[in-house]
């Protein structure tokens, strides 16, 4: 298994995009009035689901293990949530959150 190939890069891009859309539909309502349910969720549901489905496909093509997707997904979801919550709501990334993100990243490295 190579550390960086097109399947892993596509997995990361697809997950980042999917988690970004998921953040907007779920937590975006705290940042913007236009993001109140149900409209953003209705508009983003199918694209978000497809992005995650293709992320699974490319993740499995990269590692040949379903668990890699789960662990990578946990890291990407935590990272996107922390960054977007900080950027759009202003909640600080505390040392505990930073440490949690780092530990998630270590779990991904172990899987490589």
| Tokens of residue 60, six digits | 């499995």
**pLDDT higher than threshold 70 for residue 48:** yes
- Half-sphere exposure of 72 toward its Cβ, with a 13 Å CA cutoff? 25
CB neighbour list of residue 39: distance below 8 Å, 6 or more residues apart: none
Percent of the residues in the chain that have a pLDDT greater than 70, as a whole number: 97
Chain segment 56-75, per-residue pLDDT in tens? 999 999 999 999 999 999 99
The mean pLDDT of 82-88, rounded to a whole number, is: 97
Kindly list the domain boundaries of the chain, sorted by start residue.
6-111
Q: What does each C-alpha distance from 99 to 18, 96, 102 come to in angstroms?
A: 23, 5, 5
At 2, is the pLDDT very low, low, confident or very high (cuts 50, 70, 90)?
A: low
| Tokens of residue 111, six digits | 């899987």
The whole-number pLDDT of residue 18 equals 99
Residue bearing tokens 């309502």: 29
């Amino acid at each position: 298994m190579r550390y960086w190939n097109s399947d892993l890069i596509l997995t990361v891009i697809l997950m980042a995009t999917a988690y970004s859309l998921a953040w907007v539909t779920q937590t975006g309502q705290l940042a913007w009035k236009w993001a109140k349910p149900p409209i953003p969720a209705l508009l983003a549901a199918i694209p978000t689901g497809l992005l995650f489905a293709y992320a699974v496909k490319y993740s499995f093509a990269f590692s040949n293990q379903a668990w890699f997707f789960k662990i990578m997904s946990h890291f990407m979801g935590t990272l996107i949530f922390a960054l977007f919550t900080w950027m759009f709501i202003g909640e600080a990334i505390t040392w505990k959150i930073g440490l949690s993100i780092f530990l998630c990243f270590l779990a991904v490295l172990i899987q490589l």
